[in-house]
A and B are shown apart, each in its own frame.
Chain A
Amino acid sequence: MIERTPILNAVTHTVLGVGLLVMCFPLAIAFVAATLPYEAVIDVPMTLIPGSELLENAARAWERGEFATQGVNSVVMTLGILFGKVACASLTAFAVCYFNFRFRMLAFWLIFITLMLPLEVRIVPTYEVAGNALLPLQQLLEVLWLTDLVAWLAGVEVALEWNLLDTYWGLTLPLFASATATFLFRQFFLTIPEELAEAAKMDGAGPLRFFFQILLPLSKTNIAALSVIMFVFGWNQYLWPLLITTEPDMRTLVMGLENLIPSEDELPEWNVAMAGTLMVMLPPIVVVLVLQRWFVRGLLGGEK
């Protein structure tokens, strides 16, 4: 800072103070509402002084929203996505950086271009594939007349099917691929000193041993940064789980929130809804705040 005039300092802190208020406003209101009894939450104008019923409201939201089941689903989905993304991305980046093979750049670009195909623009056909993940293979075989060949040779109808709807695989597997994570790992591997691979080779380590015992341990900080971003990404998934789950006990917390919004013909128990919302918001907020340093690194690094 160059000028240190009191006026400029005052302006700075005023603007920032207002900014903080604005950013905290929704959470603050949600929190106040979550602590109020029903009679107080429907009051107009709403009080801004917290009440004392936070735990009661939270308990009712927990029950009404079936948070126990949905919580398990959310955790499984989040950790599944996180692990899957890190595994897929690091393996691909390792292959692309440390091997020279045909289609190397093609594979990299194939993955990178998926950035351009967000789920939102290909909803319906992706749903069809989730209904049977082997459908592409089946249809390829049909086009090549291999199904007919098998039917003629062995007399067996070839019908490949792997239904992902309402399964944990369905919630996680389609989200394993990550252009951002692959790119991040590639950028990092490129900065690793050549001598390491050379030394490892000289000592007789194979590529897999090098990957698991040298490259991955060196990537710890990158994996941490990536994990924070992916945790938030996974936990907050909404559209995809919405599409592929129909059974209530496969829903995730973020989806279940909708059921807490009071509809027209029931008591507007917004205090319970807000308590539920707070609980659903909490895990990723905690992760981001506690691991703030990694979070910023991952976010900025992913775009480089």
Chain B
Amino acid sequence: MIKRVLFRNRLLPYLLILPEVLIVFVFFYWPSAKALFWSFTLEPPFGGVAQWVGLDNFRELFSSPEYYESAGITLIFAFWTTLISMGLALLLAIFVDRVLRGLVVYRTVLMWPYAVAAPAAAVAFQFIFQPGVGFFAFLNDIWPGIWDPNIVGADAMAMVIVAASWKSITYNFIFFLAGLQAIPRTFVEAAALDGAGPTRRFVTIVFPLLSPTFFFLLVINVTDSFTEGFGIINVMTQGGPGGATNILVYKIYQDGFVGLDLSGSSAQSVVLMALVVALTFVQFKWIERRIHYAE
């Protein structure tokens, strides 16, 4: 799309787009291409000539049990984070949509977690979930040793899932609420006149009309939990204990920066990138449809 009234200038438009295009080229496309290149070579970490090894890095990756373990952990993390966060957000949005009094208060209080930095939320949750001090330590007083995220993998996983879900509820809530408020009241009222109760109305009218928002959020949430768990994991568990919270993104960082395995880390990057691209395409399809609806 373009405006009907245009300006004419041979050089200016190129100058205008230059800053952003340059940055995108240098910091997005170049590194991505580099990751692709590295994933097909054996890259010595301290300089030297790269050696072309074809698909060896990927073969190694897909035959390593650690990788599958990490992928499994990522799936668990993504599944529970998405479920909890979207579930609670939808529930809250439905009820906030119902209230007449106090709407502003509820909306305001539900708004601020979005503004909290993931690592800051992680520090707060880490204190809350400490085994020896903090809010949940009383569990260990009653049943000694029942809760210790520093040692027990499942506890650590539960802890990071809670923190990550809490962090993303607001985003989902805002979109669900906007979606709910866009549903014409007349539909719901007509159904009520015909005798449909609140549950029935939700299942047959509200939810179907909300489904575009739902799918959009689903894709965003899954993509985000693949990529944005980093801050929380790095502060709370560093992938531990014993690799129990070592999600794929964290493994890329660990292998690449700490382990200096550029080729292995790049191969993982490429796989994850492919996954994100695939998910984003699903989302584009959705956006396309929504714009079509709107016009």
- Which one, A42, A44, A121, A285, contacts B138 given CB within 8 A? A44
Q: Say whether, besides A12-B99, A99-B12, A281-B116, A124 and B269 are in contact (CB < 8 Å).
A: yes
Select from chain A the residue with minimum beta-carbon distance to B24.
A177
B276 within 8 A of A: yes
Judging by beta carbons under 8 Å apart, are A120 and B228 in contact? Answer: yes
Give the secondary structure class of A's interface: helix
Select from chain B the residue with minimum beta-carbon distance to A235.
B117
Stretch at the interface among B48-56, B58-66, B75-83, B87-95: B87-95
A254 within 8 A of B: yes
Give the secondary structure class of B's interface: helix
Question: In the assembled complex, which residues on chain A have CB atoms less than 8 Å from the CB atom of B117?
Answer: 235-236, 238, 254, 280-281, 284
Question: In the assembled complex, which residues on chain A have CB atoms less than 8 Å from the CB atom of B24?
Answer: 110-111, 114, 177
* Most chain B C-beta atoms within 10 Å of own C-beta, residue among A30, A120, A173, A235: A120
Judging by beta carbons under 8 Å apart, are B20 and A46 in contact? Answer: no
Select from chain A the residue with minimum beta-carbon distance to B7.
A207
* Most chain A C-beta atoms within 10 Å of own C-beta, residue among B19, B88, B189: B19
- A296 → B minimal CB distance (Å): 6
A35 within 8 A of B: no
Judging by beta carbons under 8 Å apart, are A289 and B111 in contact? Answer: yes
B112 within 8 A of A: yes
The CA-CA distance from A210 to B16 in the complex, in Å, is: 14
**Interface residue ranges, A against B (CB under 8 Å):** 1-3, 8, 12-13, 15-16, 19-20, 22-27, 29-30, 33, 41-46, 87-89, 91-92, 94-101, 104, 107, 110-111, 114-118, 120-129, 133, 135-136, 173-174, 176-177, 182, 189-190, 192, 194, 197-198, 201, 206-208, 210, 232, 235-236, 238-239, 242-243, 254-255, 257-258, 260-261, 268, 270, 273-274, 277, 280-281, 284-285, 287-289, 292, 295-296, 299-300, 303
Q: Can you offer 6 A-B residue contacts whose CB atoms are under 8 A?
A: A12-B99, A45-B135, A208-B12, A254-B117, A284-B115, A289-B115
**Interface residue ranges, B against A (CB under 8 Å):** 1-9, 12-14, 16-17, 19-21, 23-32, 34-35, 38, 88, 91-92, 95-96, 98-100, 102, 106-121, 123-128, 130, 132-135, 137-138, 140-141, 166, 169, 171, 174-175, 178, 188-189, 192, 198, 216, 227-228, 230-231, 234-235, 249, 252-253, 256-257, 262, 265-266, 269, 272-273, 276-277, 280, 287
